[in-house]
Structure 1
Amino acid sequence: MSFQDIEAGFGTSASNNNTTFSTPESPEDAAFRSLQSSLSLQMLKINANVQGILKLVDQLGTGRDSAALRKSLHDLTDSTRAMAKRGSEDLKKLTNQQVKLPHQKTSLQKTSHDFQLSLIGFQRAQQLSAERQRTVVQGVKMAVEDGVEDGEIEQTSTSPSQRQAQILQAQLSPHELAYQESLIHEREEDIREIEAGVHELAEIFRDLGTLVHQQGGMLDNIDYNIQSVHVDTSRAAEELTTAHEYQRRAGRRAACLMIILVVVVAIVLLACETTPIPYSITYHYASSSITRDLILSFFLRKIDAHEKLKVIPVRIELLLSIRCPSGEKAMRVWTSNNMDSPGVGSIMLGTDEHLLLPSAHTLLLNVDDLSVYSEQLEHLPGYFAGGSGGSQLFCSNVKVASPPVPFKELPAWPSNVEAHPLLVIDYELLKAGDKTEIDRLWEAGSTLGFWYLKNHGGEQLFPAMWGMAEDVFALPLEEKMTFEQGDEGLSFGYKAVGHYITDAQGTPDPVEGLDIAKDDALAYPKVARRSYADRVNEHMEPTIAPFVEKCIELSNTMLDIFNDKLGLPAGTLAKFHQRNDHSSSETRTIRAPANLPQGKLAVGGHTDFGTISFLVNNIGGLQVLPPGDTEWRNVRPLPGHVVCNIADALTIFSGGLLNSNIHRVVPPSGAQSAYERWSSVYFTRPSNDTVLQPLLESSIVSDAFNKLTEERQKSLTPGVTSYEWFTRRQKNYRTKNHKGTETWAANRGTENGRA
């Protein structure tokens, strides 16, 4: 079976996906999409925070109410309010960008609609919080103000808040009553702050009024009469209409001025006799990230070849290329430079990250474009200045360098190597509840246990992890080893070559790796599980956290589908994978060296420890062992696709219905073997205290489990927690812990002796 046949029968063709994956987009579209992705991530965080606020509000006035709970509620509300403000500003910027991108109108409308829904949810959560706190305060006030003789409690009270007050009064001493009075003042202050926040949110809604008017008056039905704040909606509509017309006229004037400016600049450039000198600067400093509003200024010194010219109108193309969460981005600027008065060019970058320019660092220079390199620019005159605080980056001795290894153009899949057929699952269809696609996902999970996932929205996030790891791997080995996890059974941190065994004989692996705990990525800058190198921390917010957020989203969507297919009560699998519960969920980025001998294992045969895994790699090498087969089959990486697979916990929960299949990594075939192999993986694993056992409350699971052999049933009922399962396997994979074949046997999961 050819690979084209595979795609024809199992999903969208690879050729089509390749075409889509490689289609270039304009810098304006890239900036728009990057800012839109950032806003989507903020909406995701706002929605998650709203759920957290509602859970905390439910506990107010109960036995679980405490100062710590109220502080958590206060902090979560404040952080969500800040995100709402930031998101509002980003939406305004998106609206301004879309004026020049009419084809993005529908996309902007959807983003605006989703953001407004997020704000409405937050608004309602704040209102509920204020109402609940008023009820609690009223109850405490009654306890303080109304005496109850001899501590007796009237049983005739008809109000729950009155009964709560009487109980509280009967139990409190005078000192405690005084303390409660102080709490009343504190809570009333919280209520006033919440009311101010609700008012502030109403202001945000009004600030977005112009956009609302353009998109059909979506917020006409939102109640702005919040806590005595009266809004004259009819007058606002008139103001918005006037503003809208003014904006359109201003836009036309700006367009005319821009055309005139372009014509003038073109005439000036054509009048110049100097040949244009195009060149590009690529900034590859490890600790850098980008800021949306960063202005980079550059100056060129006098060039010897033009000393006799009084004016040097050199046309320059400056290409700044920096790896960021959505992949490698480049923004161009054209300018002219005068020998006596150097010109200044500015770049406005459309991302949310921050560029921290050091006081000195070597710039990497590429000529003409990123695929052409020259050794003749060793001593280009000039220097590059920029950053905050007047920091300068001198480049009088500029080095020429190629892009990072993972981004190099790589050889195609060898034509003589057969790829094993995997189903191609469309994530957008899964989210839409498409029954056929959901059935296909179940088929993939219950047979081979591997499938491709497309249209997942993380196409640039997985390769961005390669760039992050490359920066970290460049550190000295002794520094990296200070962040090696050790032998206690967890895997977070750096992994040197030879860290793991690949077979029963204890052969060490040839790969280098870096694991980041999900808990640390979400908690940053706080430390949840362990510390990391500073260079890792510099990538935590711009690269690692968005990657983790996307993988959590993918995982949750599929877990809900499998939950329904297994006939489990709603939310059963979700409760084992709570976002804020500690688990061994982690990212893993691996670099395998080029030119490994054929037959040398990079990663030995195994099943994954957790629930679901998500993988992207740049070249081949991944192999699967289909159930009942003895021949390893190759899995071909597809551009824009994630390779997903079922892991041990989901096999156990499902009573063996879902298949955690054996896989391994070998050297790539053909011309690809001459290149480093990069992999980005996310392992979803249950919360540490989750007991691994079949979920027999489902008749579907119990029927399947009862049909298994006694040996297989035993392998699927380990009777341990997720933490114990993971640490047992992890410890026995360590090369330092290997004592013989029994160590290899002790690191097995649900393979049941198949590898």
Structure 2
Amino acid sequence: MPATTLPPVPHYESASVTQEDIDWADFPIIDISKSSTPEGRAELAPIVRDAMRTYGFIYVVNHGLTQAQNDRMVDIADIPFSQVSEDDKRQYASKIKETGSYRGFKPRQFWTIDNGVKDQIEHYNMHHSIVEQQHPKELQPFVPEIRAFAEHCHYRVLHPILRLLALGLELPEETFVKLHNFDAEGETYLRFMKYFPRTEEDESKTKNVWMKGHTDIGTISLLWCQPVTALQIMSPDGKWRYVKQIPNAIIANVGDSMEWLSGGYYKATIHRVFQPPADQRGYCRLGLLYFASGDDEVRIVPMKDSPVLKRVGITRKFADEDAPTMGEWRRARTKVYGIPELLQRKDNVIEEQIVNGLVVKHYN
């Protein structure tokens, strides 16, 4: 992060950590600082490999930013929601359905959750370069810090994870890194995201689901831990479990694109956002997220040269010649997410929609 004098920022006061008795999901904690040496990568690679095959999730610690730096970025993340006027938010609104891009503001009540209930999620999305788009004046003094944070996510967290995933497939460790260039065309996002409390009526109509179960679009998603417990993953035994928030840790998970690149070896895990425990209800949930996708022109085909895939086989979603590029898949999924015209399955649990000839599932 920049070492110069930093502009003041209002402090964001979050909820206290829950004291409820929670059935937590269980997945490994990875000390990413060990990945700086060949010996450390050799130690971590099988742990990450097995976690991303079984859960699709890991915790990342010792990533190089202090708790104080994390807290300041959370304070900055609240600026778009608490300091920018509604008129200016509209000026910087995302053209989601028109362009398949999240850049800018996504307003509340843009998506349909269930039974006609609209979402209470607001987010501000930035191209990972940060400087490639215009920002509201309230955010402009913090652009250097935000840019440094995005670079940290990309080079100090994402790239080490990608190296470990490549080693897990017995591929050259830069295999996936070469597909994720910071300066290439692509829509890897840094997102500031805020969930607002909902009415009891909306909670009842949606069975307390704030965002339906889904898999992410891209390759790797990074969620910086914050105190409000709401993220749940579908565990290998089929049960939904809350993800524990570890101070100054990052939750990393596999998305669709990485599952396909790995020939089905790594799993894009189903996760959702659910009503927080009773002692955290009524609070907003403010998050920092980094959604990584490969360079736009990368075609999402399995890594057939992997010795591991040659042994275990490849699971394809489509023929290689029909595979979309990263850009095509991202735009297609982004345009249709949250629309109510989904195909309801008979079991009333899974809804489906067709995107580029593929079935995309949403879990109630």
TM-score normalized by the length of structure 1? 0.43
Determine the C-alpha separation between the residues in 2 that align with 1:607 and 1:622. 13
Q: Does 1:478 align with 2:87?
A: yes
Distance 2:4 2:281 in 1: 37
Counterpart-to-counterpart distance in 2, 1:594 and 1:690: 39
Deviations along 1:121-154, one digit per CA (max 9) or x if unpaired, are xxxxxxxxxxxxxxxxxxxxxxxxxxxxxxxxxx
Q: Which of 59, 74, 99 is 1:452 aligned to? A: 59
Q: How many residues were matched structurally?
A: 343
Amino acid at match of 2:47: R
Q: 2:195 aligns with which of 572, 592, 605?
A: 592
Q: Distance in 2 between matches of 1:507 and 1:744?
A: 18
CA–CA separation in structure 2 for the residues paired with 1:419 and 1:628: 13
Work out the CA distance in 1 between the residues paired with 2:64 and 2:167.
24
Q: CA distance change for structure 1 residues 353 and 502 in 2, over 3 Å: closer, same or farther?
A: farther
Equivalent position of 2:347 in the other structure: none
Output the amino acid matched with 2:292: T
Q: Which residue is equivalent to 1:490?
A: 101
Aligned to 1:651: 259
1:531 is displaced (CA, Å) by: 2.4
Following superposition, the deviation at residue 570 of structure 1 comes to 4.8
Other-structure match for 2:4: 352
Indicate how the Cα distance of structure 1 residues 699 and 440 shifts in structure 2: closer, same or farther if over 3 A, else same.
Answer: closer
CA deviation profile, 1:665-699 (whole Å, cap 9, x unmatched): 11211211131111111011100111011111223
Given the alignment, which residue of 421, 428, 432 partners 2:26?
421
Q: Check whether the contact 1:730–1:747 (CA below 8 A) recurs between aligned residues.
A: no
> 2:91 is matched by which residue type in structure 1?
T
Structure whose residues are more often strand by fraction: 2
Give unmatched runs, 5+ long, in structure 2. Answer: 345-350
Matches within 5 A, 1:501-580: 501-502=112-113, 507-519=117-129, 521=130, 524=131, 528=132, 530-542=133-145, 544-553=146-155, 554-580=157-183
Instruction: Give runs of aligned pairs for residues 20-31 of structure 1, distance below 5 A.
Output: none
Equivalent pair of 1:595/1:675 in contact (CA under 8 Å): no
The equivalent of 2:331 in structure 1 is 727
The letter for the 2-side match of 1:511 is: I
* Cα pair distance change 1:355/1:510, threshold 3 Å: closer
Q: Give the whole-Å Cα distance in 2 for the aligned partners of 1:744 and 1:498.
A: 21
Matches of 1:506 and 1:694 in 2, distance apart?
39
User: Aligned with 2:18: secondary structure?
Assistant: coil
The 5-angstrom pairing of residues 5-154 of structure 1 reads 38=2
Cα distance in 2 for residues equivalent to 1:594 and 1:620: 13
Q: Conserved in 1, the CA contact under 8 Å of 2:20 and 2:279?
A: no
CA contact 2:190–2:290 (8 Å) conserved in 1: yes
Matched AA of 1:549: E
User: Is 1:624–1:632's contact at 8 Å kept on the other side of the alignment?
Assistant: yes
Distance 1:602 1:446 in 2: 26
Deviation at 1:462, TM superposition (A): 4.2
What is the Cα deviation at residue 507 of structure 1? Answer: 4.0
Within 2, Cα distance between the matches of 1:515 and 1:733?
Answer: 16
Using the TM superposition, give the Cα deviation of residue 750 of structure 1 relative to its aligned residue in structure 2, in angstroms: 8.6
Q: Report the 3-state secondary structure (helix = DSSP H, G, I; strand = E; otherwise coil) of the residue aligned with 1:475.
A: coil
Contact in 2 for aligned 1:733/1:747 (Cα 8 Å) = no
For the pair 1:667 / 2:275, whether they are aligned, the reply is yes
Give the distance between the partners of 1:415 and 1:750, measured in 2 at CA.
Answer: 40
> Matched residue of 1:614: which SS?
strand
Distance 1:635 1:443 in 2: 18
Unaligned runs of 5+ in 1: 1-36, 39-350, 357-363, 365-402
Contact 1:648–1:749 (8 Å) recurs in 2: no
Higher relative contact order (CA 8 A, sep 6+): 2
User: Percent sequence identity over matched residues?
Assistant: 22
Deviation at residue 725 of structure 1 after TM alignment: 0.4
The alignment partner of 2:313 has SS state of helix
RMSD: 2.7
* TM superposition shift of 1:493: 0.5
CA–CA distance in structure 2, aligned partners of residues 654 and 492 of structure 1? 28
Q: Is the 8 A contact 1:607 1:750 kept in 2?
A: no
Whether the 8 Å contact between 1:448 and 1:626 is mirrored in structure 2 is yes
Q: Is the 8 A contact 1:592 1:677 kept in 2?
A: yes
- Over residues 338-369 of structure 1, what are the superposed CA-to-partner deviations in whole Å (9 max), with x where a residue is unaligned? xxxxxxxxxxxxx414549xxxxxxx9xxxxx
Which secondary structure state, in structure 1, belongs to the residue aligned with residue 244 of structure 2?
A: coil
**Residue identity in the other structure for 1:508:** K
The letter for the 2-side match of 1:484 is: A
Please say if residues 233 and 270 of structure 2, whose CA atoms lie closer than 8 Å, have aligned partners that are also in contact. Answer: yes
- 1:746–1:596 Cα change, 3 Å: farther
2:304 to 686, 696, 716: 696
Deviations 1:620-667 (A, max 9, x none): 0000012451x2111111112111111111111111111110101112
* 1:626 counterpart = 2:235: yes
Structure 1 SS opposite 2:112:
coil
Mapped contact 1:584–1:685 kept (Cα < 8 A)? yes
CA distance in 2, matches of 1:484, 1:448: 35
For residues 655 and 720 of structure 1, the distance between their equivalents in structure 2, rounded to whole angstroms, comes to 14
CA contact under 8 A between 2:93 and 2:104: conserved in structure 1? yes
What secondary structure sits across from 1:442 in the alignment?
helix
So what's the TM-score if we normalise by structure 2? 0.85
Give the counterpart of 2:36 among 421, 426, 431.
431
SS, match of residue 534 in structure 1:
coil
Cα separation, 2, equivalents of 1:671 and 1:654: 41
Question: Per the alignment, do residues 744 and 507 of structure 1 end up closer, same or farther by CA in structure 2, a change over 3 Å counting?
Answer: farther
* SS of equivalent residue, structure 1 residue 541: helix
Contact 2:353 2:360 in 1 (8 A): no
The amino acid that maps onto 2:230 is G
- Quick one: which amino acid aligns to residue 122 of structure 2? E
Q: How does 1:197-208 map to 2 (within 5 A)?
A: none
Superposed, which structure 2 residues align to 1:240-319 within 5 Å? none
